[in-house]
Amino acid sequence: MKTSKKIRNKIFALINPGKKVYCLYCKKTYRKFLHEGVKAKVFKTYTVAGGGYKKNVQCPNCYSVDRSRLLYLFFQLRTEVFQKKTHILHISPNKEIAKVLCEGKTISHVCGTIEPEQYMEFNPVYLDVQKIGFEDHTFDVLICCHVIEHVDHDDVAMREIHRVLKPGGFAILQVPLALNLEKTLEDKTLKTDKERKRAFGQVDHNRLYGLDYFDKLKNAGFRVVRDNPFQNKWLSKEELERHRLDPIEDVIIAYKDQA
């Protein structure tokens, strides 16, 4: 992060003391968080969960955002990974949740990425999600958040994720999800950054997923469950709002059922 932005964030923290919002990662509280995200018309048009520009979501101290806090609460409140031995493959990880998982005494954490030089603190291995270099049925849990929308062949990636999971295991597969769009927008003829941003919201995205995303996961062999912290009352509404989660964003859990 640029020095100027770090200084700005420190000033923001100093002038926004309070306890209205809380960061799980650094344990800091503030009157409000920073705004964060990408501005694109398509995100508003299709009501995209997990994408776009959001107000009051980024911690000025550790820079965690709403979607990383969502994952922390999910693993803490909705799974047993911190209670029983769990082998996790984490693809191009969010660094905040990766650090928490690495510190879990029951967790064996593998970081896989096409850019290992950016994740050296996690002892990464080179990994392309479209050709995962591990044997079948290796991992109890796989985390692949905001990755699949970037790859050329998402159907191949989904099958690879299914292949390396153990029967009974699950994958967390977050993507920017257009809640007002039935069919995924994809156009391989788009070549320029301007064209891709207009169509998909970001220049490095190859598609914008619609509600058929769940059918795509089912076609790869998964049973899909959507777990929303507000609808399923993980915590009180007041506590959830203090974490500044997005009420429209579900955790997308793809199970590999026992044969």
Range of the domain at 184: 65-255
Q: What is the pTM of this model?
A: 0.95
CA distance 224 to 257: 10
12 assigned to some structural domain? no
| Residue 16, domain member (yes or no) | no
> What value does the mean pLDDT take over residues 155-165?
98
- Residue 8: pLDDT over 90: no
Give helix 66-78 / helix 95-102 axis angle, nearest 10°.
30
As a whole-number percent, the residues of the chain with pLDDT over 70 amount to 99
> Given this model, what pLDDT does residue 1 score?
64
Checking if the pLDDT of 204 tops 90, the result is yes
User: 85 and 60 in contact (C-beta within 8 Å)?
Assistant: no
Distance CA 196, CA 209 (A): 14
Residue 227 sits in a domain whose CATH number is 3.40.50.150
CA distances from 94 to 113, 122, 125, 126, 176 (A): 11, 11, 15, 16, 15
Q: Give, in degrees to the nearest 5, the angle at Cα 20 between 16 and 26.
A: 75
Question: Looking at the domain assignment, is residue 49 inside a domain?
Answer: no
CB 44 within 8 A of CB 84: no
Examine residue 21 and state whether it is found in any structural domain, yes or no.
no
Total domains in the fold of the chain: 1
Mean pLDDT of 118-142: 98
Q: Dihedral angle at the C-alpha atoms of 220, 223, 226, 227, nearest 10 degrees?
A: -130
Mean pLDDT of 170-195: 95
Residue 50 lies in a domain: no
How many whole angstroms separate alpha carbon 251 and alpha carbon 226?
A: 6
C-alpha of 107 from chain center: 19
pLDDT level of residue 191 (50, 70, 90 thresholds): confident
Is residue 3 scored above 90 in pLDDT? no
3-state secondary structure of 35: strand
151 lies in a domain?
yes
Domain for residue 154, yes or no? yes
Place of tokens 């301007």: 194
The answer as to whether 19 is a domain residue is no
| Mean pLDDT to the nearest integer, 215-227 | 98
Token output for 185: 């927008």
